[in-house]
Amino acid sequence: MSAIIDTFIAPPCFAEIEILWQDDDLILINKPSGLLSLSGKNPQNLDSVHYRLVQAFPGCTLVHRLDFGTSGLMVIARNKAINAALCHQFSQRAINKVYTALLCGHVDNNEGVIDAPIAKDPALFPLMSICAINGKPARSRYRVVERMFQEQEDGTVLPLTRVQLTPETGRTHQLRIHCQQLGHPIIGCDLYGGLEWPGTEQTPRLMLHASGLDFVHPVSGKAINARHDAPF
């Protein structure tokens, strides 16, 4: 098996983490695009959500991650017990996540399900692949919010579809590779075709935002229904 060598160096991220809500047990944040969730092994990749937050909230831990280019809602545990309780909710699929994305082209159907198993292949790193033989089950739902045309600076008119994405499983790069499988990559996605459509080459970021997060507060037992609009 090929060894995985990660050569990615994150450019500096000057955007701030927005703290949306906090109590003694957890923190809800809006992660900016272009910031790692966890620090990488390379010292040049030290800056991350965890690195920044642990300065202000010693002992805090990440319950889940968002990709480097993805912005939006994350829940952070302030101690190990809360982390364990929230991780249990994730493992039981009791946490509902909703994303907003801009896709290349106009999606034909107003809603649908993408059911395509995803596999890791060290030879393709960091790319994941759709593989019926070695892949783990992966399922995502999509719903069209709006179909539109956007004129680029060079005069190119780009057809776009704004969608709401709901992952039913949590595989690496799931939404990004599933949208490519649908035939409509997420705009700005460098790994799965989102910079290859005419007019998308200069897209400043991955157009994917975690806009909804539903879970149960581990201490109070109250339902938390967090929402945050996409900045695009």
Selection from 232, 225, 200 nearest residue 75 by Cα: 225
DSSP 51: H
Catalytic residue among 23, 24, 47, 67: 67
For residue 178, give the H/E element and its range.
helix 174-182
State the Cα–Cα distance between residues 140 and 165, nearest whole angstrom: 7
State the Cα–Cα distance between residues 140 and 59, nearest whole angstrom: 33
Residue with tokens 């983490």: 17
Selection from 201, 211, 193 nearest residue 72 by Cα: 211
State the Cα–Cα distance between residues 69 and 183, nearest whole angstrom: 20
- Active-site residue 214, yes or no? no
Catalytically annotated residues: 67
